[in-house]
Every structure is written in structure tokens, then in C-alpha cells.
Amino acid sequence: MNSVFVIGVGLIGGSFALDIKGIYPNCKIFGIDTNKSHLQEAKEVGIIDAEASLQDLKSADLVVIAIPVDATLNVLPEVLDNISEETIVFDAGSTKEDICLQVKNHPRRRNYLAAHPIAGTEFSGPKAAIKGLYKNKTNIICEVEDTAFKLQERALKLFSDLGMRIRYMNPKAHDKHIAYVSHLSHISSFMLGKTVIEKEKNERDIFDMAGSGFESTVRLAKSSPAMWTPIFQQNKTNVIETLDEYISNLKHFKKLMENEDFEAVFKEMEDANHIKHILNGIK
């Protein structure tokens, strides 16, 4: 691989760039980003070798799209318009159904691999990029049958070299499942942060009492609203469904406490403890 273009040089795109440089040391990495300061920063920290534009994509062996999902809807068709027949393009969006539908009938649909690497941190921007971010992480691939075999092979080899596990799923199922295990987690964290911030207005010392449990639970509230608002918008139906279930469980827990039924409270938490066995099995 000689020429890689990364569209969006923040945490996700930048981390891909750093790992690709490690695997293909002679590869030249080009960065495309609407944020000029991000491009300058990415050059300074060695994530990219040079800036580029969508019109330069003809020379690309690989294009990585790592921008908010609403921007991907507009940028992906334009990327496919500008690439060569031998270029493989993949995105890293947390929603898949709308994005796949957007290019369903594009003449170069065969050059696109719909991907969602489940990796990241609560930080953003080029300086948040880290080597090894994707090692032992799951990468969900959708509609693999719509990607040219020799091109998907190239992308899948890269994912394997990065140490990623591959799961195949259709876009609709992906968006439904990810609403539970990712999107709901972020909403919970944002709203917990909001609740505590509002309380802190009257009790200035509340954060002095916050321990590691609070810190780990609210960590995702530091995530970028610019990235997460479009995700919630594109996956609105599934997210609302998960919120309804979550709110119902919260109300049920509250009712048990109001009724002084702490034996049932214990049982609810004991049942929830089963999650550790599930997560240990995944790891």
C-alpha cells in the first residue's frame, strides 16, 4: 500500500493513520479535513505527511472516512466519484443503514466497505490519536457482499494486521444492536453529567466527593456533541426504543425503593451482575 488518504484526522482517522504507518512504513498518508488547524496539528505530530483534497483521490490505494455520520452521507458519494477502480474506501461511522442506502446505487458501490470499528476514547482531535487503538477491538462489517472481493480482501487484511476481530451484520441489525451497547451508554453518561452539573450549582463541594465510580460512569459525557448528535439523529427510532426500555427500568427501580422492597432491589442488582460474565466471555 503506497498511498492512503484519511478524511477526518481526529481520534479515529488519526489512529488508523498511525497504525498504517507502522505496518506500511513506506506508505504516504494524506489528510483531508475541513478544520485547517487539525490538518496542521496532524502534520506536526506525524499523523499525516501532507494535506490533500477530494480531487486528489485518483492516486489513492485506500481511503479512510472518519468524520461525523451526517457529513459522511454527503462526502462518501463524492469520494466514490473521484477514486480509481482499484481504490478501496471504508468508513468508521457508528450508524450504517442510512450510509449504505446513500450509495446503494452508486456506480462505484463495489469500492466501498461499510465498517464500524468499535473503538475510541472520550477525547477528540489529532492529539487524541493513539497507536494500537484497534488492537483486539471488534470491527463490524455490513453488506460485505456488495464490495468487490479483491478490494474487500485488502481491507480485511489491514484489519487483521491491526489485530481486529471481524463481525458481519446487516445495516439494520447493526443500528438496532449498537443503540443498546453504545448509543444508550452515551446518553446515560451525558444525562448523568447534566444532573450532577445542575446539582453542583448549589453544592460546590459535590465533585470533591466524586470517586472512581462516578468518573468511569460519566467518562463518555466528555465525548464530542458534534459527533454524537448526528448519530442519534440517524438512529433515532432505535435510540428512542432503547430509551423507553431504559426509562421503564429506572421507574421500576424507583418504585421498588418507594415501596421499601429492598429484597427486590437486591434481586434486580444481582440479576444485572450477570453482565460481568457476558463481558468476560467477550474478552
Read off the pLDDT of residues 109-155 as tens digits, 9 standing for 90 and up: 999 999 999 998 888 899 999 999 999 999 999 999 999 999 999 99
> Which residue ranges form the domains of the chain, and what is each CATH number?
3-170 (3.40.50.720), 174-282 (1.10.3660.10)
DSSP line for the chain:
--EEEEES-SHHHHHHHHHHHHH-TT-EEEEE-S-HHHHHHHHHTTS-SEE--GGGGGG-SEEEE-S-HHHHHHHHHHHHHHS-TT-EEEE--S--HHHHHHTTT-TTGGGEEEEEE----S--SGGG--TTTTTT-EEEEE-GGGS-HHHHHHHHHHHHHTT-EEEEE-HHHHHHHHIIIIIHHHHHHHHHHHHHHHHHTT-TTGGGG--HHHHHHHGGGGS-HHHHHHHHHHTHHHHHHHHHHHHHHHHHHHHHHHTT-HHHHHHHHHHHTTHHHHHHHH-
Can you tell me the mean pLDDT for 53-69? 97
Can you tell me the mean pLDDT for 260-269? 97
State if pTM tops 0.75.
Answer: yes
Lookup: cell for 76: 462518501
Residue 203's pLDDT is 64
Given pLDDT bands bounded at 50, 70 and 90, which one contains residue 279?
confident
What mean pLDDT value characterizes the chain? 93
Show the CA angle centred on residue 273, arms to residues 277 and 206, nearest 5°.
Answer: 125
